[in-house]
Amino acid sequence: MAHAHSHGHGHSHGDGHAHTHAHAHSPSRDTERGALKTALVLIVVFMLAEVVAGVLASSLALLSDAAHMLTDAVALAMALAAARLAQRPAGGALTYGLGRAEILSAQANGVTLLVLSVLIVVDAIRRLVSPPTVSGEPVLIVALVGIVVNLAAARVLARGSGERRSLNVEGSYRHILTDLYGFIATAIAAGVILATGFSRADPIASLIIAALLLSAAYGLLKESGRVFMEAAPTGCDPEEIGRTLAGQPGVVEVHDLHVWEVTSGFPALSAHVVVRAGDDCHERRRALQRVVTDRFGIRHTTLQVDHEAATQRPLQIELPSRK
């Protein structure tokens, strides 16, 4: 009998999955892609100008900024490709679709930021030991223009993705934000060089940029790692969900509770629920699904609902209907 209830729920899970699938791919993904394209054009055009200026002025701060802008461009291109993949419908072996391509993209962004920061630190230390002559004027001009360009790109991404950015767009946004802070540090260093002739201000600025890159890399790797390790979404407490479900009318026990995130904005839950022997388990399941959706915002739920064992009854030999 218990098996029949579980089997019956299989059909309900199919309905729930269809509903969630529509929810996962909201129209905002199209505007996110438009924002990513605009930001990519801004970044690539400015990066090319910055590489030329960095070489002519022998400024590591400018070249490290340019290298970071190259990773910005790669990050934005990957984010665009991932967003396109994530919109493909589920099918074949990929029953969740390609939503996690966005999380892979965010993790790759984190790794590139990490590698880049280490390379900048090594070069900055070398330049602190034997500082080259740095031309302050071109560095200052490029840094000030860089601040404007990155502000524009950050604004485009913030407006194009709304309040709840996907982790994919968040990765690109953090790239651009750290670049913005890097340009501010570079502009200050150029001002110091112009005022005092202290050339070591340039590698010091590049060390500040490396620290910013490390911080952004840590955040992205931690958050994408949480998704890949099937951790509950940030701000979602599985124990609280379990207590809430166990406290609902007619529920005897809740176990095998799992809460995870398929991709950004797509949380999922599964659990085995035992209800009182005489209850309508299908109605109980529907009520529990409503609670999970209304209280915790989780629309993709798989609940196996069984009756508790009735000890006073003889053994049931009724077989579940085969469908």
Average pLDDT over residues 94-116: 80
- Report d(CA 39, CA 183) in Å as an integer: 17
Q: Which structure tokens are listed for 263? A: 């991709």
User: Which range, of 32-36, 111-115, 126-130, 191-195, averages the lowest pLDDT?
Assistant: 32-36
Strand 266-275 relative to strand 300-307, pairing: parallel
pLDDT tens figures, 236-248: 899 999 999 999 9
- Asked if 81 and 181 touch (Cβ cutoff 8 Å), the reply is no
Domain boundaries, position 73:
26-228
Residue 264 belongs to domain with CATH number: 3.30.70.1350
List phi, psi (to 5°) of 248.
-75, 150
Q: What is the pTM of this model?
A: 0.67
**Mean pLDDT of the residues in the chain:** 78
pLDDT at residue 312 tops 60: no
Q: What is the pLDDT at residue 8?
A: 35
In a domain, 180, yes or no: yes
pLDDT at residue 17 tops 50: no
Give the three-class secondary structure for 70. helix
| Domain end (from 170, 202, 228) | 228
Is residue 304 exposed (0-12), middle (13-18) or buried (19+ Cβ within 10 Å)?
buried
User: 13 pLDDT band (50/70/90 cuts)?
Assistant: very low
For residue 65, give the nearest of 142, 136, 6 by alpha carbon: 142
Q: What is the pLDDT at residue 44?
A: 84
For residue 252, give the nearest of 310, 317, 301 by alpha carbon: 310
Query: Residues 285, 100, 29, CA angle at the centre, nearest 5°?
Result: 90
The reply to whether 129 and 270 lie within a common domain is no
Q: What is the pLDDT at residue 23?
A: 41
- Report d(CA 200, CA 190) in Å as an integer: 10
pLDDT at residue 317 tops 80: no
Report the b/e string of 273-290 with b at 16+ CB within 10 A: bbbeeebebeebbeebbe
% of the chain surpassing 70 pLDDT: 82
pLDDT tens figures, 124-148: 898 888 887 777 787 788 889 889 9
- Report d(CA 45, CA 265) in Å as an integer: 32
Give the three-class secondary structure for 230. coil
In a domain, 13, yes or no: no
In a domain, 17, yes or no: no
For residue 21, give the nearest of 76, 68, 101, 87 by alpha carbon: 87
In a domain, 6, yes or no: no
> Of residues 272 and 123, which shows the higher confidence score?
272
In the chain, the number of structural domains is 2
pLDDT at residue 211 tops 50: yes
In a domain, 253, yes or no: yes
